[in-house]
């Protein structure tokens, strides 16, 4: 357990240091079909910051390794605003866009950081869905931050 805690803290630290930003206007990335790409082969660490404006507001991000020549290992961290609890879901797709798996991310509660290690084989992509945890976990004035760190 101690090793996991140290690894999680190290991951969170690495995500914060030197990440580039992604930004978009309201309404972008609301479905898997218009997900905001935060990684493609040859890229590095990146982050994005948006509000969740209602319980039916979803933000999708794409970690694209369809044309990658090597498997991708990294971490995704979700920093929820103070007093709010946002969650992540991971959707893995193959080169034909067929869903391979859907898993829920680790949830540490309101105002906390949820960090998950990821593995995306060459020829696949990973969508990250960010959404409200509960009926009152949203605010158009408070922004979450999603950060991606590449390990290899």
Contact partners, residue 133, CB within 8 Å, separation at least 6: 85, 86, 87, 107, 110
Q: Which residues pair with 127 in a beta bridge?
A: 62, 91
CA dist., res. 10 & res. 132, Å (int): 26
Is it the case that residue 68 has pLDDT exceeding 50? yes
Give the pairing type, strands 46-52 and 139-150: antiparallel
Q: What is the DSSP letter of 16?
A: H
Note the pTM of the prediction, 2 decimals: 0.83
User: How far, in Å, CA of 143 to CA of 49, rounded?
Assistant: 6
Percent of the chain with pLDDT over 70: 82
As a whole number of angstroms, the distance between CA 78 and CA 59 comes to 12
pLDDT of 11 above 50: no
Q: Is the pLDDT of residue 43 over 80?
A: yes
Domains of the chain from N-terminus onward? 2-150 (2.60.120.380)
Tell whether the model's pLDDT for residue 7 goes beyond 90.
no
């Amino acid at each position: 357990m101690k090793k996991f805690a140290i690894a999680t803290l190290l991951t969170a630290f690495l995500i914060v240091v030197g990440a580039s930003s992604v930004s978009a206007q309201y309404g972008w990335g609301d479905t898997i079909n218009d997900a905001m790409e935060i990684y493609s082969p040859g890229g590095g660490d990146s982050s994005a910051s948006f509000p969740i404006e209602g319980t039916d507001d979803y933000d999708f991000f794409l970690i694209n390794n369809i044309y990658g020549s090597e498997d991708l290992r990294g971490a995704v961290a979700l920093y929820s605003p103070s007093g709010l609890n946002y969650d992540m879901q991971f959707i893995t797709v193959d080169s034909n866009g067929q869903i391979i798996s859907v898993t829920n991310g680790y949830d540490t509660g309101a105002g906390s950081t949820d960090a998950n290690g990821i593995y995306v084989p060459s020829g696949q992509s990973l969508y990250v869905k960010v959404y409200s945890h509960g009926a009152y976990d949203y605010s158009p004035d408070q922004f979450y931050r999603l950060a991606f760190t590449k390990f290899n």
